[in-house]
Amino acid sequence: MASSDISVDVRPDFNSLDHFLSMRYIATDRPWLKLYGIRVQPVLPFRSLSCKPDPAPIHQCLPDELLLEIFTRMNPYTLGRAACVCRKWKYTARNPALWRAACLKTWQRSGMEANYMIVRSLYDSSWRRMWLQRPRIRSDGLYVSRNTYIHTGVTEWQFKKTVNVVCYYRYLRFFPSGKFLYKISPDKVKDAVKCMHFRASKADCVFKGDYILSEDGQIEMALLYPGHRYTLVRMRLRLRGTTVGANNRLDVLKILTTGVNATELKNWTGSILELVEGWEEDETHDPDVPAVSHSRGLSPFVFVPFEEADTSVLNLPVEKMDYYVPG
């Protein structure tokens, strides 16, 4: 493959560093480039139902072991798209080793032994079925909640009182380790995705917390707002999907803010979620910060993959989309 085939064309108008860094979300994924210099093991040749030689040129030039190596470097969603290409790719993508690696990475907190017991007892030893049916939080993008409310302006001179539509977003990014990032901002998805990482500065207002996912699809989350008075945010969400295995929606069941004692935090060494375990909903450990259950800003979260952050419909301004139905 020539070097011009894998080069990135940086145009003169891409002067800002932020725009250059955002190009990794729209660049084409080429897993086969990682195969140079790697010794691969041979696999059994694919046999169709008719046992006739495959006439496709790509199958005549690409050995089965290289095809399997390329598939091992794909994420499960890209692997699902590849399975729709032809019959040979479909059966190659059904290889249990591919889905076993994806499941063990996604549910790494459960442990390897526990995952093997779950797949045998609940999913008939099918790792692919486990991937599709078991509740799973996606980590290859952001969960975005778009919220709007009406704000009444003031009357000036002879003009009538104005009415403004205020739009803001809640952003969530989950990690398999049990950590998540949280941000509330009026910035669009294409701008907020650039700072949703652990290296974000304080000016980005990205906060880190802990979460746990139950087998029935409910998510318990907790994070701490630093400041003069510590404020603890507790959220309870329900995971669902528009199709089987999508896991692309989060329904907000509860958002609570409560106070926490600074001395208690200083002596605590575990996670924030372990600290609030067993607390009541109206419980607070700081009299100056009462417990409040929020009833606004509870729009469901919609999953947006990183590669669709620039083209998502959630980037539309208010005048083009005054409301959004997540489905």
What local confidence, expressed as pLDDT, does residue 5 receive? Answer: 46
CA distance to 113, 223, 323, per residue, from 295 (Å): 41, 19, 18
pLDDT tens column, 74-109: 888 888 888 888 888 888 888 888 899 889 988 888
What local confidence, expressed as pLDDT, does residue 106 receive? Answer: 86
H runs (alpha helix) in 233-285: 262-266, 272-275
Average pLDDT of the chain?
Answer: 80
For the entire predicted model, the pTM comes to 0.76
**How confident is the model over 9-32, as a mean pLDDT?**
53
Which residues fall within 8 angstroms of residue 49, CB to CB, at 6 or more apart? Answer: none
Would you tell me the crossing angle of helices 96-106 and 64-72 to the nearest 10 degrees? Answer: 10
Find, among 267, 106, 278, the residue nearest to 178 by Cα.
106
Q: Which residue has the higher pLDDT, 159 or 1?
A: 159
